[in-house]
Amino acid sequence: MRIIFLGTSAGRPTKARNVTSIALKLPDPANGFWLIDCGEGTQHRLLSSKLKLNRLERILITHLHGDHIYGLPGLLTSRSYFDGAGPLQIYGPIGIRAYLEGVFEHSGVHLEYELDFIEIDSTGIIAQDDGFIVEAAPLEHRMPSYGYRITELPQPGHLDLTKLAELKVPPGPLYGRLKRGEDVKLAGGVIIRSSDVVGPSVPGRIVTILGDTKPCGNAVILAQGADLLVHEATFGAGMEEKAEAYGHSTVLQAAEIAAKAGVRQLLLTHFSSRFDDEAVEKLTADAQTIFPDTVAARDYLEIHVPRMGSNASSV
């Protein structure tokens, strides 16, 4: 599982940073990806990545400010030109359907695939499949804004190949059945129990991505124990009054949320355009005084989210 930042600026783009969009690359064998927010120019950023729009499965919109949604009409239209582009789900606050349908109506767009809208207005599970559970909760911003907690379901344990060889279990389909938790019978009538040759299940990973918000209780709840928290850091230390007025957070407030929630790693994003790269380094250093494992996102930064017991790394 990987996080790829396609835009890390707040409000408007800069020469170095586009406005907000994040891709979540799913682990094999799914081989697809999701988008969290889609600011103007997101599809241009995708052109410089290995991600293809026909592999896009879900879009999660945190809120309806333009720097988070103005890239949607163009991206969705371009997706029609990709072979194999199947149905696409869009999650977001109430109004996301009306916004897109209005644009499509007045611009004459006809998509070549099914678009499914899931508008949210409460706390709880909004999606669940064989691989993931997605939960949403409202944050505190100048308009309805949501955070998302994406939980990977536990994975089957590892096969004990040495023991399987000792029990004379032939490699092949029986291995798969055992790994899926099924007991099997060998040709001689011997029963091999899955629990005897498969290790304990591997905990799934948790990624929390918050929309624009000032510090609030739901931010901590959504991030509790997460492997990775992506939190906005629009303002620097000492700018708390401005952050409060605009419904945003400072870098120190983001670090405090990470510490309270007990996350493994904090990724800061959504930096005000007033901050250049040197200033962002200073902001990150400030946050690290509260939460040491803090990294500043930049456009095209790719972060591997490791399973428990391994170390995080960026590519």
Residue 165 and residue 255 in one domain: no
**Predicted local confidence at residue 211, as pLDDT:** 95
Extract the residue ranges of the chain whose pLDDT is less than 70.
309-315
Residue 270 and residue 302 in one domain: yes
Domain stops at, among 197, 224, 257: 197
Binding-site members are: 63, 65, 67-68, 141, 212, 270
Of 264, 283, 262, 263, nearest to 272 (Cα)?
283
In whole angstroms, give the CA distance from residue 29 to residue 39: 28
Residue 70 and residue 43 in one domain: yes
In whole angstroms, give the CA distance from residue 230 to residue 221: 14
Q: Indicate which CATH number applies to the domain containing 57.
A: 3.60.15.10
> Which residue type sits at 196?
D
Residue 230 and residue 305 in one domain: yes
Angle formed by the axes of helices 277-288 and 251-261, nearest 10°: 40
Please identify which residue in the block is written with the tokens 């092949």. Answer: 172
Residue 99 and residue 148 in one domain: yes
Residue 207 and residue 136 in one domain: yes
Total domains in the fold of the chain: 2
Q: Give the domain range for residue 263.
A: 2-155+202-314
**Predicted local confidence at residue 188, as pLDDT:** 84
Of 45, 47, 51, 43, nearest to 2 (Cα)?
51
Residue 119 and residue 184 in one domain: no
Residue 255 and residue 270 in one domain: yes
Residue 26 and residue 142 in one domain: yes
Residue 148 and residue 46 in one domain: yes
**Predicted local confidence at residue 303, as pLDDT:** 97
**Predicted local confidence at residue 82, as pLDDT:** 94
Q: How far is CA 80 from CA 23, 30, 188, 291, in A?
A: 19, 21, 55, 43
**Predicted local confidence at residue 309, as pLDDT:** 52
> Which residue type sits at 51?
L
Catalytic residue numbers, as ranges: 67
Q: How far is CA 259 from CA 51, 137, 148, 254, in A?
A: 32, 19, 18, 9
Q: How far is CA 274 from CA 2, 7, 230, in A?
A: 29, 16, 20
**Burial (Cβ within 10 Å: 0-12, 13-18, ≥19) of residue 168:** exposed
Binding-site members for Zn(2+) are: 63, 65, 67-68, 141, 212, 270
Residue 165 and residue 289 in one domain: no
Residue 184 and residue 255 in one domain: no
Q: What are the residues facing 208 on neighbouring strands?
A: 149, 229
